[in-house]
Amino acid sequence: MSFDAGILALPFYEPRHVQRAQQIESWCAENAELWDDSSADPDAAGLRILRALGEHGWLAALDPAAGPEGSAAGDCRSLCLLREGLAYADDLADFAFSIQALAATPIVRHGNEEQQRRYLAPMAKGTLCGAFAISEPDVGSDVAAIGLRADKDADGYVLNGAKAWIANGGIADLFCVIARTGEGPGALGLTAFLVPADTPGLTVGQRVPLIAPRSFADLEFTDCRLPKDSVLGRPGAGFVIAMEVLERFRMTVGAAAIGFARRATDAALSHAKNRKMYGAKQFDLQLVKATFADIEVELNAAALLVARAAWAADRGDPAAAKHSSIAKLYATEHAQHIVDACVQVFGAAGLVADSVTERLYRQIRSLRIYEGSSEVQKMIIAGSLGGRGRAK
């Protein structure tokens, strides 16, 4: 089961959330052929899954103009539940969904009427693939140090530099790019741009093979000219836009981690309840029971932290960013532990290439790094403690 019905029944969620969770679980079960053999060609599989997600309405929330479905664009609880359900089913399914949502969200929140009209409807249909480009070869955690230059000229801006580790980099039709325009020092001198993939001067650099295959590439900008109206939001607001998106999406990474961990747990439980050992079942051994008890505690804690963060964000709580970091940190670190414990339950069988546990063991690792590593989350959480504990 992708979801814990007891957690869904808590007052964090409304009946529509429970319904969405049930629907995504059934959809994944009925459409598993979409991600069969997805690791052989992640670019093609990513696009195939994206189109199917769009066709079946799972991306509708990315287009607020589309009516009641679209009006849920700001609903973090739905985003989290969809990621949890998709991640339970398949890594690439979650990846295709989450990167499209990550790329569309800044347009939903900061795009002008024309930008929203041009891009959001095809993004919600899955016919236009998006990507969000912050990281560079020399800049990762320290976003304020972004070096890609966007120099102003009479017609607009000229971009020169590079981006690195861009999810959907090789297949995206549209990039949301954060570049240095220099309105102020550091974080104050960054601007967000919308850059169609066919813009002259933008080329896809090297494709990067990862521990878990996904569409992933570096980008190069050489005298890449953009009109003034490609600015998203206002000049100088790029850092704020990037942080706002990351703050909203960190909790969703935690939700995906729960999906991966729950899938591993279900596989390991089924193995332990069937495997004969010492004249009984493996699950009857006390140390094995203790492993599953620890997992259950960790899964509950992670799901509650994600639910709290998403609920806080949906209410507009100013502390939501802190809770998003807490949820990501706890859920991803513990999901790593859970998947590892499940491999241990399987013994040698847990290490067989392309088995469920071996795949999850590779797939879970990047969640502790992207959208702010665990160390970055700790800095944010500690930073939120402010003046607490200071002597009066």
Ligand X SMILES: Cc1cc2nc3c(=O)[nH]c(=O)nc-3n(C[C@H](O)[C@H](O)[C@H](O)COP(=O)(O)OP(=O)(O)OC[C@H]3O[C@@H](n4cnc5c(N)ncnc54)[C@H](O)[C@@H]3O)c2cc1C
Binding footprint of ligand X on the chain (CB under 6 A):
131-135, 140-141, 165-167, 366, 369-370, 373, 375-376, 379
Tell me the torsion sign for CA atoms 115, 117, 122, 125: positive
In the complex, least distance from residue 212 CB atom to ligand X, rounded to whole angstroms: 8
The DSSP-derived string for 40-108 is: T-HHHHHHHHHHHHHHTTTTGGG-GGG-TTGGGGG-HHHHHHHHHHHHHH-HHHHHHHHHHHHHHHHHH
Cβ distance to ligand X smaller for residue 64 or 130: 130
In the complex, least distance from residue 190 CB atom to ligand X, rounded to whole angstroms: 13
In the complex, least distance from residue 327 CB atom to ligand X, rounded to whole angstroms: 17
Residue 197 CA to residue 290 CA, distance in Å, equals 51
- Pick the closest to residue 32 from 81, 73, 83, 86 (CA basis): 86
Cβ distance to ligand X smaller for residue 14 or 138: 138
93's tokens: 């399914």
H helices of 175-285, in order, are 238-274
Give the nearest residue (CB) to ligand X: 140
Cβ distance to ligand X smaller for residue 58 or 132: 132
In the complex, least distance from residue 99 CB atom to ligand X, rounded to whole angstroms: 6
In the complex, least distance from residue 301 CB atom to ligand X, rounded to whole angstroms: 22
Cβ distance to ligand X smaller for residue 7 or 246: 246
Residue 350 CA to residue 343 CA, distance in Å, equals 5
Active-site residue identified among 33, 84, 371, 375: 371
Cβ distance to ligand X smaller for residue 163 or 334: 163
In the complex, least distance from residue 182 CB atom to ligand X, rounded to whole angstroms: 20
Residue 108 CA to residue 26 CA, distance in Å, equals 28
Residue 168 CA to residue 207 CA, distance in Å, equals 10
Residue 382 CA to residue 374 CA, distance in Å, equals 12
Helix (H, G, I), strand (E, B) or coil at 1: coil
In the complex, least distance from residue 375 CB atom to ligand X, rounded to whole angstroms: 3
Q: Is 84 one of the catalytic residues?
A: no
Residue 98 CA to residue 22 CA, distance in Å, equals 19
Cβ distance to ligand X smaller for residue 141 or 203: 141
State CA 26 to chain mean position distance. 21
- Pick the closest to residue 358 from 348, 372, 367 (CA basis): 348
Cβ distance to ligand X smaller for residue 206 or 270: 206
CB 269 within 8 A of CB 292: yes
Q: Which residues are catalytic?
A: 371
